[in-house]
Amino acid sequence: MSTLKPSLVLSPNSLEGDLASKYEKIGVSSSFLNLKSVAGMFKSIEELGNLLGKEKKANKLVDEFVNYMVEFRAKYQNTASPRVLILMGLPGGSYLVATESSYVGDLVKLAGGTNVYDNSDGQDFVNVNAEDMLQQNPDIILRTSHAMSEEVMKNFETEFAQNDIWSKFSAVQNGKVYNLDNNYFGMSANFNYQKGLENLEGILYGTN
């Protein structure tokens, strides 16, 4: 990277612990962006605007986000908040539970859903057994993937078909299990957040 002589390298802050010292060692200036939430992404945009002398463009993007969220929330402010379990599938058949601290958890919160696993001491993802998930009694189960989406979703189908405990979940009994597109529900915040919220709008409130 040093041979490219960049004036600034941008990376997600989830990698700061691994990369900060390496950038410093090769003499490259760096900035780490908060991409764990939509608000964090726009805060980073605001900071970058100040850093790069693009305040007007940055402020315009931030204002668009604020206005969008005001309009979105107004539609459902008097609607009951569904209880949601979010599963993040991994290649190989395993999965983790996404908390409010994860990006997909943040989207669910912005959409008005209640994550049955809130912030879990700031961890983005936690390993929870199915019995504990059952006790949380989610109204809706969302399934997304970190990578290799087609394989992961097939693994989810197998897990839910072969592990009898899932049949005890009211969300499963009521047909409230949904697969999410990881282009909108991945690991890091991006400008597809509006599409993600529109998808959740249909799932949480039956608007589709």
CB-based burial of residue 38 (10 Å sphere; 0-12 exposed, 13-18 middle, 19+ buried)? buried
CATH number of 83-205: 3.40.50.1980
Q: Which CATH architecture has domain 2-76?
A: 3-Layer(aba) Sandwich (3.40)
Same fold, 2-76 and 83-205: yes
pTM > 0.85: yes or no: yes
pLDDT range class, residue 137, cuts 50, 70, 90:
very high
Which pLDDT tens digit goes with each residue over 36-80? 899 999 999 999 999 889 999 999 999 999 999 999 999 888 888
**Contact status, residue 64 vs residue 191, Cβ threshold 8 Å:** no
pLDDT of residue 119: 64
CB contact at 8 A, 95 and 166 = no
The domain spans of the chain are: 2-76, 83-205
First to last CA, the chain: 46
